[in-house]
């Protein structure tokens, strides 16, 4: 059975891993003509656990207020800017989407709901500490995704 790649989902979080994944996805999209969607999941749990996070520990209300002011618009979120640059020139402008939830679950659910052909994800996210406590997002996606997953190192 031949697997045609028409749509690629690229989860991003501003990490080096996500940057490398965006670059790889851009090359893959140019080779296949696939459309790319950049996907960002905001998770209060992960940000609160992250010792590397740029967001200081906040109460749930303060956190939500901070996110609503600064991070719900992909054009204002620096992670999207970096990922767009790394994608390079594509036949179609990439779609950008932000959701609230648990990262791995949200990525897999969105890929399933939208019928993505491929997920390209970085092997390491923003917080090694959060990964230690919660498990690697890329590993969880690899095991639960509804489509092929490429993990970029």
Fold of 7-152: Rossmann fold (3.40.50)
How is the chain split into domains, by residue range? 7-152
61-75 confidence digits (pLDDT tens) = 665 666 566 567 788
22-61 confidence digits (pLDDT tens) = 999 999 999 999 999 999 998 766 555 443 445 555 555 6
137 contacts 119 by C-beta, under 8 angstroms: no
pTM listed for this prediction: 0.82
């Amino acid at each position: 059975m031949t697997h045609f790649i028409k749509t690629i989902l690229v989860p991003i979080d501003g990490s080096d891993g996500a940057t490398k994944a965006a670059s790889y996805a851009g090359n893959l999209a140019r080779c296949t003509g696939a459309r790319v969607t950049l996907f960002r999941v905001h998770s209060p749990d992960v940000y609160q656990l992250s010792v590397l996070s740029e967001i200081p520990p906040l109460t749930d209300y303060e956190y939500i207020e901070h996110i609503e002011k600064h991070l719900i618009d992909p054009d204002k979120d620096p992670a999207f800017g970096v990922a767009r640059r790394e994608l390079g020139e594509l036949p179609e402008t990439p779609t950008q989407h932000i959701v609230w939830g648990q990262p791995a679950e949200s990525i897999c659910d969105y890929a399933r709901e939208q019928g993505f052909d491929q997920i390209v994800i970085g092997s390491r996210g923003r917080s090694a500490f959060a990964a230690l406590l919660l498990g690697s997002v890329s590993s969880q996606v690899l095991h639960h995704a509804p489509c092929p997953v490429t993990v970029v190192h």
